[in-house]
Amino acid sequence: MKRDQAEELKSLQDTLYFIGGKWRIPVINSLCNGNRRFREIERSIPGITTRMLSKELKEMEMNKLVKRTVYDDTPVSVEYEPTEYCRTFGNIIMEMINWGRDHRKFIQKNK
């Protein structure tokens, strides 16, 4: 069975496209870590602005990565939940965390 490099490249680029900007992966990670409320997610990602988080969550809702639920208590509270589909990024994120960790060690050692 031959490896189809063009097909692999296409898959790779699809993934990169889907991951898109700077915040998608951190937001997925935050949701998968159990953060649910808007401000809670915001606080869990230092540096993100309200605007970017809002945009990101909207797009992710459209892409079925996140489920938004409004609870009608007073005051209204909103919950964001990662879908099963969202969780399929688990392996990629894990590998990225591992790489970043090893990279840091590597830098420290060679400094």
Partner DNA sequence: TTAACTGGTATACTCAATGATACTGGTTAC
Partner DNA sequence: GTAACCAGTATCATTGAGTATACCAGTTAA
Interface residues with DNA (CB under 7 A)?
Answer: 20-23, 37-40, 47-52, 54-55, 58, 68, 74-78
**30 in Cβ contact with 45 (< 8 Å):** yes
Per CB under 8 A, does 4 bind a second copy? Answer: no
Using DSSP's 3-state secondary structure scheme, residue 69 falls into: strand
Q: Which does 108 bind (CB under 5 to 8 A by kind): DNA, a second copy, none?
A: none
Per CB under 8 A, does 108 bind a second copy? Answer: no
* Paired tokens of 39: 């401000």
The sign one gets for the Cα dihedral 58, 77, 51, 17 is negative
Between residue 26 and residue 85, which ones bind a second copy under the rule CB under 8 A? 26, 29-30, 33, 44-45, 85
Per CB under 8 A, does 9 bind a second copy? Answer: yes
Q: Which does 101 bind (CB under 5 to 8 A by kind): a second copy, DNA, none?
A: a second copy
Nearest-5° Cα angle at 48, 84 to 34 = 35
